[in-house]
Amino acid sequence: MDKLTNLEKKWILYDVGNSAFVLLTATIIPIYYKNIAKTSGITAADSTAYFSYATSIVTIIVAVLGPVLGALADTKGFKKPVFTFFMMMGVLGCAGLAVPKTWLVFLVVYVLAKVGLNASLVFYDAMLGDVTTDERMDVVSAQGYAWGYIGSCVPFIFSLVFVLFSENIGISGNTAMAIAFLVNGAWWLLVTLPLLKSYEQKHYVERTLHPVRDSFGRLAGIFSEIRRKPSVWCFLLAFFFYIDGVYTIIDMATSYGKDVGISDTNLLLALLLTQVVAFPCSVLFGFLSKRVKNTTLIQVSIIGYFGVVLFALQLDKTWEFWFLAVWVAVFQGAIQSLSRSYFAKIVPKEKATEYFGFFDIFGKGAAFMGTMLMGISTQLFDTSRAGVAILAVMFATGFLLFRKAVERAENAA
């Protein structure tokens, strides 16, 4: 493969920026939140459930907003401004987490930050068709996740020093957390600036006299269009199930680890290891996609995650959590990047953001079901393992539907 172009590099940098916050949401944020909740008398099971519900609220909001904003953003001149608005919402929300001192207010700010992040990704993913070619999409998408994993470690390690050694440094734990949130928010903004400066929307729908109203009309048309494309529709259904499990694991891994007795330090270091291992694995899968079918690699990744869930059901030792962290790292970047590039290839470029709005409904919106079911099951059975068991069914269903989507795509070719 030729070297990455300057525009491809700048697009990848947004993965480096937002991944810093994503890493916080999988590590420091749940630990900090659960410690706040514990001091308020909230049980471990209830605090995990409340965190699940907050994550579910985020996915509902983004699922509703995604297609509407996507339809609007595909209009000429709209994609960059709307992307910028939600990126800034996420950045300010990340920094704003330094303020709340009660668990409920913290969750409210967390929801706002996550909505900004997830909504910005609708437009970011759709930019892929503007910054590269179909032939390079798999590798460029994989590079985005890969550099996102390793790049996010820079502000995370800086934050970790303050969090783990706050007493030695002579600051309180709350002050250390405030520094972590501010540093990661600043990092996210700074590495996004090159993309904002250089990105131009190449594929678009011409602006009309009433772009907002007409966007709603196109939205209904896009949904009808998707239903008439069996390969796209079936893929979205498959994606709904298997990515549901992936995002639920990302969102809830730390809470689950605390519930089964893993110490805060081991949780943080193990999940940092996940980022480091995920970097070469994401790059590897990107290059493998030049020799092995994208669809085959996606199926391998789904099977890998199914094994993750089965292993997690019996997890009760620290070394097992470390082993699981590495196992997840092997497939985490691959399943997300290859799904993103596969979808970008099978949809019209000039309607990419509208299609990716639905992609986000079936993707991050799917996490609503996983986190909600995990929260309900955890409270009903008073154990996080009940919620984890449901994820195995999600991956199995997603695998079968994806195979069906591939068959339909091959028959249509």
Q: Which of 11-20, 106-115, 123-132, 214-223 has the lowest mean pLDDT?
A: 214-223
> Scanning the structure block, which residue is given the tokens 């390079």?
136
Of 84, 96, 98, 117, residue with least CA distance to 15: 117
Average pLDDT score over residue span 254-273? 76
Q: Distance between CA atoms of 134 and 380, rounded to whole angstroms?
A: 47
Backbone angles phi, psi at 213, to 5 degrees: -60, -45
Is the pLDDT assigned to residue 194 strictly greater than 90? yes
pLDDT in tens, 59-106: 788 877 776 776 677 777 778 898 999 999 999 999 999 999 899 999
Residue 366, H or E segment: none
Residues 6 or more apart whose Cβ sits within 8 Å of residue 317: none
Q: Which of 19-23, 193-197, 328-332, 387-391 has the lowest mean pLDDT?
A: 387-391
**75 pairs with which residues across the strands?**
205
Check residues 389 and 394 and name the one with the higher pLDDT.
394
Mean pLDDT of the chain: 84
Q: Distance between CA atoms of 45 and 53, rounded to whole angstroms?
A: 12
Give the per-residue pLDDT at 1: 47
pLDDT in tens, 248-258: 777 667 666 77
Give the per-residue pLDDT at 204: 66
Q: Distance between CA atoms of 229 and 232, rounded to whole angstroms?
A: 5
Tell me, what DSSP letter sits at residue 75? B
DSSP labels for 17-61? Answer: HHHHHHHHHHTHHHHHHHHHHHHTT--HHHHHHHHHHHHHHHHHH
pLDDT in tens, 127-169: 888 888 878 888 888 888 889 888 888 998 898 888 888 888 8
Check residues 367 and 187 and name the one with the higher pLDDT.
187
Give the per-residue pLDDT at 413: 59
Is the pLDDT assigned to residue 7 strictly greater than 90? yes
DSSP labels for 205-223? Answer: BPP-SSHHHHHHHHHHHHH
Structure token digits, residue 133: 């070619």
pTM exceeding 0.85: no
**Cβ(181)–Cβ(95) below 8 Å:** yes
Q: Distance between CA atoms of 35 and 47, rounded to whole angstroms?
A: 9
pLDDT in tens, 212-241: 566 566 666 777 788 788 888 899 999 988
- Estimate the crossing angle of helix 44-73 against helix 211-227, to 10 degrees: 110
Average pLDDT score over residue span 11-28? 90
**CATH numeric code, 6-199+210-412:** 1.20.1250.20
267 pLDDT tier (thresholds 50, 70, 90): confident
Check residues 367 and 144 and name the one with the higher pLDDT.
144
Q: Distance between CA atoms of 144 and 99, rounded to whole angstroms?
A: 31
Give the per-residue pLDDT at 329: 85
**Cβ(55)–Cβ(112) below 8 Å:** no
